[in-house]
Amino acid sequence: MTDTRLTSLAQSLPSTVPFVAPERMEELRGARFEARLGANELSFGPSPKALAAMSESLSGIWKYGEPENRDLRIAIAAHLGIAPEEVTVGEGIDGLLGNLVRLYVGPGDAVVTSAGSYPTFNYHVAGFGGVLHTVPYKGVHEDPEALIAKAKEVGAKLLYLSNPNNPMASVHSAETVQAMIEAVPEGCLMILDEAYTEFAPESSRPALDTSDKRVIRFRTFSKAYGMAGARIGYGIAHRDIATAFDKIRNHFGVNRVAQVGALAALTDQDYLMQTVARVAEGRAELARIAQSNGLTPLPSATNFVTMDCGRDGDYARALVKALDAHGVFVRMPGVAPLDRCIRVSVGLPEEIAVFAERLPLALADLG
């Protein structure tokens, strides 16, 4: 029975979690996964410098984290060549998206995204009563022109684009993204989710312009920096936008261990470059495995490879389930026609070897 003390909006929403944790899946299947390749985590782990800094900081865990995230914001700003007031730090991009929607979206406000793009954004829009309008992908890419047209049509408050894209691993050029920014209609803010940007070519990143109030860019320490469990990311925007987060954010939401780890990781760019190179090698191996098993690997600018199964969503779902039975955790896009694919994260070489061994077995199970 619904608790009638809830707001009418909360009463209308399902009690759901957008993602089922692999640990819960292991509990349900009664065994551990031998290859954890579904959550786009970095199983190489973070920089040894970050691990050492976090370990050393544990004795101070009795203290609250610094509520302004000042040291980290200063370091990020220096790294990017912008002002600290143009950086906001939060509990991963997920937390930042929630705060952004809270800042800009009220009940009935229009929001535009792509059908099948990152679902957590949609979860936040629903949670604040926004009305989500979607446009289809154009092939394996989000469609900038269609997104802009829809934003104009519905009077969108927010417009979301991920570049590189999750779940398709595709990427637009900096010129394409910049043209989209310049076309953002009056009264709308474009969200440029760059969670995977470190894996992508520099030519995919428009120049940073924090004087432009039409866009906010989100980046994270969860992917290339290998700190998904620490839950820490940041936004880059005009200072009026970045400082507005202080109106509503959880000021102690980022714990001090995460702050210390992110700061240390940022200073170890050599390790980051090594990681990017290892991921590129892993992507190439995953692409080879896909091709040798009759699947089509899509070009990837991320730490995962999306593989077109050449059939429909039911077949791809059956393949995910078969891989699960063989001890391999992968995921897939949730919306047709993208759901013809499976999505496989780059893992440790031994995990990729398990995938290479078990994929043909899973495919054989499907007949």
pLDDT tens digits for 81-90? 999 999 999 9
State how far Cα 261 lies from the chain centre.
Answer: 19
pLDDT reading at 2 higher than 90 = no
Tell me how far apart the alpha carbons of residues 338 and 334 are, in angstroms, rounded to a whole number.
7
| CATH number, domain 48-268 | 3.40.640.10
pLDDT of res. 1 = 65
CATH for 8-45+270-365, among 2.40.50.100, 3.40.50.1820, 3.90.1150.10, 3.30.450.20?
Answer: 3.90.1150.10
Tell me how far apart the alpha carbons of residues 142 and 61 are, in angstroms, rounded to a whole number.
42
* Segment 223-265, tens digit of pLDDT: 999 999 999 999 999 999 999 999 999 999 999 999 999 999 9
Average pLDDT over residues 151-171: 98
Average pLDDT over residues 126-141: 97
DSSP secondary structure string for all residues of 282-323: HHHHHHHHHHHTT-EEPP-SSSEEEEE-SS-HHHHHHHHHHH
Which residues are 90's β-sheet partners?
Answer: 233
Residues of the chain with CATH 3.90.1150.10: 8-45+270-365
Question: How many degrees, rounded to 5, is the angle at CA 192 between CA 339 and CA 309?
Answer: 15
Integer angstrom CA distances of residue 257 from 61, 91, 195, 223: 7, 13, 21, 18
Phi, psi for 220 (deg, rounded to 5): -145, 160
* Segment 63-104, tens digit of pLDDT: 999 999 999 999 999 999 999 999 999 999 999 999 999 999
Mean of the per-residue pLDDT values for the chain? 97
Residues of the chain with CATH 3.40.640.10: 48-268
C-beta of residue 110 within 8 angstroms of C-beta of residue 150: no
Residue with tokens 């991009």: 93
Angle between helices 349-365 and 313-325 (to 10 degrees): 120
